[in-house]
Structure 1
Amino acid sequence: MNELKQIAIIGGGITGLAAAYYAKQAGAHVTLYEANDRLGGKIKTIHRDGFVLECGPDGYMARKPTLTDLIQELGLDGQLVRSKTGTSYIYVRQKLRQMPDGSVMGIPTKFWPMVKTDLFTWRGKFRAGLDLVLPRVYHGTDISLDTFFRTRLGPEVVESMIEPLLSGIYNGTLQDMSIESTFPQFITIERKKRSLILGMKALTPPVQAGATPREAGKFLSLRNGLGTLTEALRPAIDQLYLNTRVAAIRPHEVELSDGTVETFDGIILATSPEALGPMLGLAEAAQLSDLKRTSSLTVLAAFKETDVAALDGTGYVIAKREGNALTACSWMHKKWPHMAPAGMALLRVYIGSEHVPPLLKEDDETIAAFALDELRTIQHVGKPLFTKVERHLDTMPQYEVGHKAYVRSFNRALAALDGVEACGAILDGVGLPDCVDSAKQAVERLNVTPEVLV
C-alpha cells in the first residue's frame, strides 16, 4: 500500500463517481467537488406516474464490459435489463422505411436486402457496391467520417442511412467528425479487408442451417433507472462539496473559488472540458476547452398506448435532408418495457443541434409543443398525458478532425503536474462504459494500489 491516501475528485458526473469508487476500493480517502447542486452529470432519472423517465442516457452498449462489471460489484446486477429489438426505421423521402436486414452501423452486409430496399435508388445501390473494388481511403492521416464513407459507399448511403445513424451519437455532423477519434474500428476493417462491406460481413457471425437467429438487444440499463447507479456510487465519497467551484489545480493543491487551498496526495480531473483550461492554466488544456461542443434538447412525452401509432420496432432516425427539426424518435416503452406502465406509451424525441439555439429562449411548454408538431409530420400521436423537456447545454464534445493530436498534447502537458490526472468524455469517448474505463485508468495512473484495480 503506497502513500496516496487523500484523493480529490473534481466533477461529480459518472466519470467522477467511478473514479471515487475505484479510489475508495484502493483504500483512499475521497473528497469530491461538484460545481452543480446534484451528482450524476448527464445521468438524470425521474419517476412519475409509474413511468421511468431518463432525461439523459437511457442505457449503454452491452459489449463494453467495464460498466457491467462495476454494476455487478455494486450489487445491482439483479436490476440489469436488456433492451428489446425490432424493426429499425429511417425517415427518408417523407416515409418511414425499414433498415435493410444485415446493416451494421449503416454498412450493408447482405446482398438481397440491399437490392430490395427502397431506401436508395438503383444508382445509389450500384455506387455503394463499388466499395467492393475501391482502394483504401485512409492513409494514416485523420479525415472526416463524411470523406471516408462518401468515398467508399457514395452519397446516397451516407445521407439516407449512415449520417442519421452515426451523427446522432455525437450530436454533430459527419463533415466535422474525426474517424480516428469516433469510429477507428472502420480504419481497422478497411486496413484488413479493404472493403467495408466485406469487412463488416466477416465480423457478423453466421447463422447455422435450420437455426433461427437469436435477437438480443445491444444495450443494457437498470430497471429503476440509471439514477440508481449514481445513488450506489455516492457512498464511495467521504467528503462531498456540492455547489463548489474549483478555481485552480496545481500539483497536490486544489484552490476553490473562495481562495481556500486544500492539499491532496492525488487529484483527478473529471470535469467538463470548458473548465480544464481555467483550472490548469495550460495552453494545451485551454485548447481542449475551446474545442467545439454542441447543445441538444430532448422531449419525453407520455401517452395512452392507443393514442400512438402502432409500429413494430423501437424507433427511428430521421435523414437531415428531410428538413425535420427532429433527428430521432425512440419508442421507449418498446425499447425498455419497464419504463412505462401497462397500456401506456413513452416517446423520446431529439431536436437537432442547429434548431436548439432559437428554442432555448422558449419555455418548456413551447419546446414540447414544437417537438410534437414536428413528430406529427412523421407519425400519429394524440394528446400527451405529460411532457418533460431536458436541456443539455454545451455538453457534447465534438471529436473533430485532429482531435487525437489535441488529446496527446494535453496528456504530455499534464504529465508534468505531479499527482494530477484527468479523465472523461473529451479524452476517451462519450459512452458511459468509456467514461468508467477512463476513470479506472486515471486512478491506476495515480498508483493507488493498482493491484486492487486490475
Structure 2
Amino acid sequence: MAQVVVVGGGWAGLSAALALKERGADFLLLEAAPRLGGKVFTHRGEGFLIEGGPDASVRYKKEVLALGEAFGLTPIGTLPQKPAAFILRKGRAHPLPEGLLQVVPGDLKALAKTPLLSPWGKLRALYDLFLPRGGKEDESLKEFVERRLGLEVYEALVAPLAGGIYGGEPEELSMRAAFPQLLELERKHRSLVLGAMRARRARGSREGGSLFFSFAEGLSALTRKMAEALGERTLLATPVLGLEPGKGGYRLHTPRGVLEAEAVVLATPAPVAAALLRPFLPEATALLKGIPHTPAATVSLAFREPLPVRGHGLLMAKGEGYRVRGFTWTHQKWPGRAPEGFSLARAYLSGEVARLAEAELVRVALEDLRRFLGQEVKPERTWAFRFPEGMPAYRVGHLERVERLEMALLKAPGVFLAGNYLEGVGLPEVVRTGRRAAERAVAYLALSPSPG
C-alpha cells in the first residue's frame, strides 16, 4: 500500500508527486497516457520545436519559474517585437494598446490613440471615470466590461484577449473567479480606468521586458526534469478504471490490478475526477460535471518563405468571421523554433471547430491564414493537436461551486483535487493546486491512524 496515489501525470499531478517526495511521503503516480505532461507537449524534429499545448508561462507568477530554476533550467524570454500583439478588427490588424492591466486599458493616452475603438467607443470608455461602483458580489465579464467601459471595448478588446486566455466564448466568465483583480480595482478606486492606471504605476511597466518565458528545449524540458526526479514511482499507460473506499484508505482498480492507498490526489480533468467519484460522492460528481469545458486545438504550419506578418501574434475581435481564435508567429516570438529561413505559424481553435479531425483542423487553419494574408501560401510541414477536454469555463458562481466541492469532499477523507478547473487555467495555478493537494494529503496522513 502506498501512502498516497496521485492520479494524473500532467503538471498538477507531477507537482503533487514532487511535493510528496520532498515531504518524505510514500507515493505512486499513475498516468493513463503513455507519456507525462498532460496538455504540455513539445514535439521536436527536422529543426522545428513545436508546442502542442501551452507555449509559455508568465514571469510574475513564480511557481513555474521556481520549479525550472530548482532543476537548473534557464528561462528564455520572447524575442523583441514592438508592437508585439495585434487584434484583427474590421478586417485590419491593429496593435494592442500599451498599458493594459490584464484585459482592460490602463493608459489614457494609449486608449485615445488606438484605432481599435471608434471616437464614440473611446468616449464611452471614459464615462467609467464618473460611474458609481457596482453592487454585485459576482457578475459576468461581458456584463462588467459593458457596464464600466461599454460594449465596443468588450467586443474589440476584451473578448479577444479573454478568449485567448480561457478559450471558448468569454461572455459568461465569472469576474470573481477569472478576473478578481479587476473587481477589486473597482471596489477600491471606483473608476476601473483610474484603478488600472494606479496599479500600472505601482507595478512598473512591463512593456520593455518579456512578460512570458519558456525554456530552450520547450516547456516539456520541465516535464522531463520532474519525471527524472520522481524516478520509478510513476506508472505510465495505467488508467484508473474505478475508485472505492476501503479499509483504512482507498482501492484503485487499474489494468495492472488493484492498488491501495491511504490518500488519493485526483490530478485529472474535472470530467475524469467526476467519473471516479460517482460511486460514492454523488454531490461532488454533480458539482464537477457542472463545470463546462470547451474543446481546444492547435495547428502549427511551417513555410519555406517569410510570411508578411508583424509582432508575436494576432487575435480576432468578435464578428470577424474567422474560425481560428488567433495566430502566433512562432518564429518571431521564440528563438530556435524553426530552421533558418522558415516561418512557423501556430493557430489556436476552440469550441466545436476544435472537435474536427486533425486533417480538417489543418485545412481550417490554413484557409484562415490565407484569408488574413490575402495570398496563397503552401506549408512544408503541418502539425495538429487536439484537446477534447480543452479549457474549463469559470462561469458566474464558480468560486461558490469550488467551495461546495470542498465541503462535499469532506465525506471522503483522504481524497484531494488538483487541476486547472479550480483556481486558474495558467500553468502556475496548475502547479500551485498540485502542491497544495500534496500538502493537504501529508497533513491528513499525519492526523490519521495508520491502517491495520
Equivalent pair of 1:276/1:285 in contact (CA under 8 Å): no
Q: 1:30, 1:238 within 8 Å by CA — same for their partners in 2?
A: no
1:165-314 matches, within 5 Å, as: 165-205=161-201, 215-235=208-228, 236-246=230-240, 247-250=242-245, 252-257=249-254, 260-281=257-278, 282-287=281-286, 288-304=288-304, 306-311=305-310, 313-314=311-312
Are positions 1:437 and 2:435 aligned together? Answer: no
1:262 match: secondary structure:
strand
Find the residue that maps to 1:339 and give its secondary structure: coil
Match of 2:366 in 1: 372
Unaligned runs of 5+ in 1: none
Q: Is the 8 A contact 1:23 1:448 kept in 2?
A: no
8 Å Cα contact 1:96-1:378 kept in structure 2: no
* Aligned partners of 1:299 and 1:387 also within 8 Å: yes
Deviation at 1:9, TM superposition (A): 0.4
Displacement of 1:42: 0.1
TM-score, normalisation: structure 1: 0.90
Instruction: Give the secondary structure class of the aligned counterpart of 1:447.
Output: helix
Deviation at 1:238, TM superposition (A): 3.4
Q: Partner residue of 1:410?
A: 405
1:99 aligned onto 2:92: no
For the aligned residue pairs, the C-alpha RMSD in angstroms reads: 2.4
Report Cα offsets for 1:193-252 as digits up to 9, x if no partner: 1111111111113899xxx98611111111101111111111315333323222114362
Match of 2:147 in 1: 151
Q: CA deviation at 1:378?
A: 1.3
Provide closer, same or farther for how the CA distance between residues 103 and 291 of structure 1 changes in structure 2, counting only shifts above 3 A. Answer: closer
TM-score by length of 2: 0.90
Aligned residues of 1:329 and 1:349 also touching (Cα < 8 A): yes
Q: Is contact 2:2–2:260 with CA below 8 Å preserved after alignment?
A: no
Q: Give the Cα–Cα distance (whole angstroms) in 2 for the partners of residues 448 and 241 of structure 1.
A: 25
Cα distance between partner residues in 2 of 1:399 and 1:56:
20
Change (3 A) 1:442 1:267: same
SS in structure 1 opposite 2:50?
A: strand
Q: Greater CA deviation, 269-278 or 146-155?
A: 269-278
Return the letter of the residue paired with 1:298: T
Q: Determine which of 124, 127, 148 is the counterpart of 2:124.
A: 127
Report the residue type matching 2:139 in the other structure.
I
Q: Structure 1 vs Structure 2: percent identity of aligned residues?
A: 33
Report deviation, 1:393.
0.6
Contact 1:248-1:254 within 8 A present in 2 as well: yes
Residues 16-57 of structure 1: CA distance to partner in whole angstroms, max 9, x if unpaired? 011111111111232111122221100111012111100011
In structure 2, do the counterparts of structure 1 residues 105 and 429 end up closer, same or farther at CA, with 3 Å as the change threshold?
closer
Partner of 1:316: 314
- Cα distance in 1 for partners of 2:203, 2:272 equals 49
Name the residue aligned to 1:23: 20
Say how many residue pairs are matched: 436
Write out per-residue CA displacement over residues 266-303 of structure 1, whole angstroms, 9 at most, x where no aligned residue. 22110111122221231232121242111122110112
Query: How far apart are the structure 2 equivalents of 1:40 and 1:424?
Result: 13
Q: How far is the alpha carbon of 1:128 from its aligned partner? A: 0.6
Letter in 1 for 2:18: Y
AA of the residue aligned to 1:205: R
Helix, strand or coil: the match of 2:172? Answer: coil
Structure 2 counterpart of 1:284, one-letter code: E
Structure 2: give runs of 5+ residues left out of the alignment. 447-452
Report the Cα offset of residue 346 of structure 1: 1.2
* Equivalent residue for 1:446, pick from 429, 438, 441: 441
In 2, Cα distance between the equivalents of 1:107 and 1:447? Answer: 40
CA contact (8 A) 1:307 1:382 kept: no
